Structure 1
Amino acid sequence: MGYKIVFFDIDGTLLNEDKQIPHSTVAAIKQLKSRGIEPVIATGRAPYFIKPLTEQLGIDSYVCFNGGYAVYQGEPLHRRVISKSSVEALVTLAAKHKHALVFEGEHAFFADAEEHPFVTSSVSSLKVDMPGYDPHFWKTNDVYQIFLHCESKDEHLYEELHSELKLIRWHEHAMDVLPAGGSKAQGIAALLKLVGLTPGEAAAFGDGLNDKEMLSFVGFGVAMGNSHPDLLPYADYITKHVDEEGIRIGLVKMGLIAG
């Protein structure tokens, strides 16, 4: 099938462990665009985390916050925020267990703890600036996503919130928190509806646990060779590692670029 749009995760997909984009990927994206096929970012990152990458690749359409915020050709078209009551419930429980939170708004993000080691280790791994400090940010601003900082052994402490919130681990010290039922697929569905395309006309590349719904939703889902093992059953094709021309090989497999 002739896929008309391709969604790309960032960390572990477009970017390697050093947060660099391989030259083969840059060339593949350029060739994809030259053939009239639109590349779109689909990430758990916030919009302000991805600007250097979108500028480097010449991409102006993206789905951020794990589907909570979608932009098409520079214009915001979809927003999904966490309810104040759900944020408050998480804030109360996290404070009880002394776990730090980072609140992600549309234009900025803030932590409820100063110089917390888990916040430092997780956020620094993204190679972005550290969040500001404002424990009350969530009270007066829309929050699209939250970083909950705890180890895997403590995840069970938040089971009572699962009817309201979805937790996805992305770092040994941090999880993404989004509304229950939220996923990249939600933001992608909103974008596709706007541009008049069906899920069957879309493809996607990912490597993490937050990519399950995305790979299942589109017409052709590609898992990177470096993917989390639990993602592989959701993929139609498993390509090579991000540093082994995985993006190029996957696009060639679909017949979207020349081999």
Structure 2
Amino acid sequence: MNKKFFFFDIDRTLGLNISERVPSDTSYCLRQLQRQNHLVAIATGRLQCDARRFAEQHHIDDIVADGGNSLTVQGQLLEMNGLPLDSCKALLHDLDKRCIPWAVVTDNTLRRYSPYENFPRADPHNYMETVIQPVPINALTVIYKITYVRQDSGQPRQEQYGLPHLPYLDNTWLIEPVDKGDGILRMLDRIGGNPDEVVVFGDGLNDISMFRKPFFSVAMGNAQPELKQLADYITDDNDKGGILHACIKFGWI
């Protein structure tokens, strides 16, 4: 069999919900893929430092993180790019005018910074530390993520400035890059991989960009309906052996 290049989303694909926990059958499958000489990599929206921590726990060296904006190859961070800075600053100034609380991630750590004491952070699934301090918008040189409070349906629609918005915890919007597919292609260029041999696994809306040809795409049984419509194959839920079942069905292990 030709060498395959497997790219797995983390949350609700490899991991159970938003956590570090991976089912034992999935861990077994990853080890078997590696023993067959396939490349096993991560493709996630998580910040690079968080994705690296998860990957190291599961003996994975290659990571497309930050929604495609960072590349880690053989454990070495090679690229890490932020969101479009001018668009982000315009959005933050607009949110300030409307008194809508926001927070930004400006470094490769699990900290987000907000000038708003009332920024919501009660959801137990939130894994980032929220630091309340002044954030001078015009002085920012890089922004990796933004979260801000979603307004009630009766409020005027917030201008999005062309930035990708995903519903997130604590009734907020999450703005982060969403082109994992482009990140995968850039990684293949660096390692000499063939796009025709790529297999991607995902469950969420931020996986849509990697459910593209010529990649072979597998949606988890617990995936969003929009993603399932794009998939080449729909497997079982991630807590019901979905990854292992797909890899056995197609003879990858």
* TM-score normalised according to structure 1 size: 0.85
Higher helix share: 1
Change (3 A) 1:193 1:176: farther
Aligned to 1:169: 167
Correspondence 1:195 to 2:191: yes
Aligned to 1:111: 113
Distance in 2, matches of 1:209 and 1:16, equals 17
Distance in 2, matches of 1:228 and 1:168, equals 13
| Number of equivalences | 250
Distance in 1, matches of 2:6 and 2:155, equals 33
Correspondence 1:214 to 2:214: no
* C-alpha contact (below 8 Å) 1:145/1:178 kept by paired residues: yes
* C-alpha contact (below 8 Å) 2:147/2:173 kept by paired residues: yes
Distance in 2, matches of 1:81 and 1:191, equals 17
Distance in 1, matches of 2:24 and 2:192, equals 32
Q: Following TM superposition, where does structure 1 have runs of at least 4 consecutive aligned residues deviating by more than 6 angstroms?
A: none
Correspondence 1:233 to 2:229: yes
* C-alpha contact (below 8 Å) 1:152/1:172 kept by paired residues: no
Distance in 1, matches of 2:22 and 2:136, equals 33
Aligned to 2:96: 95
| Secondary structure, counterpart of 1:7 in structure 2 | strand
* C-alpha contact (below 8 Å) 1:100/1:111 kept by paired residues: no
Percent of aligned pairs with the same amino acid:
29
Change (3 A) 1:143 1:4: same
Give, as a single letter, the amino acid of the residue that structure 2 aligns with 1:119. Answer: R
Distance in 2, matches of 1:7 and 1:130, equals 28
Change (3 A) 1:255 1:60: same
Distance in 2, matches of 1:156 and 1:247, equals 43
Give, as a single letter, the amino acid of the residue that structure 2 aligns with 1:177. Answer: I
* C-alpha contact (below 8 Å) 2:52/2:63 kept by paired residues: no
| Secondary structure, counterpart of 1:244 in structure 2 | coil
Please give the per-residue CA displacement for 1:187-229, whole angstroms capped at 9, x wherever unaligned. 1111111111232111110000000111225521011100111
- Give unpaired runs (5+ residues) of structure 1: none
| Secondary structure, counterpart of 1:50 in structure 2 | helix
| Secondary structure, counterpart of 1:216 in structure 2 | coil
Distance in 1, matches of 2:152 and 2:32, equals 41
* C-alpha contact (below 8 Å) 2:121/2:170 kept by paired residues: no
Query: What is the aligned-residue RMSD (CA, Å)?
Result: 2.6
| Secondary structure, counterpart of 2:212 in structure 1 | helix
Change (3 A) 1:4 1:154: farther
Change (3 A) 1:131 1:186: farther
Aligned to 1:8: 8
* C-alpha contact (below 8 Å) 1:3/1:256 kept by paired residues: no
* C-alpha contact (below 8 Å) 1:105/1:142 kept by paired residues: yes
Change (3 A) 1:52 1:81: closer
Give, as a single letter, the amino acid of the residue that structure 1 aligns with 2:74. Answer: Q
- Give unpaired runs (5+ residues) of structure 2: none
Change (3 A) 1:172 1:216: farther
Distance in 1, matches of 2:155 and 2:142, equals 25
Give, as a single letter, the amino acid of the residue that structure 2 aligns with 1:168. Answer: L
Following superposition, the deviation at residue 70 of structure 1 comes to 1.3
Distance in 2, matches of 1:131 and 1:106, equals 13
Give, as a single letter, the amino acid of the residue that structure 2 aligns with 1:173. Answer: N
For the pair shown, the structure with the greater C-alpha radius of gyration is 2
| Secondary structure, counterpart of 2:120 in structure 1 | helix
Distance in 2, matches of 1:44 and 1:70, equals 12
* C-alpha contact (below 8 Å) 2:102/2:116 kept by paired residues: no
Aligned to 1:255: 251
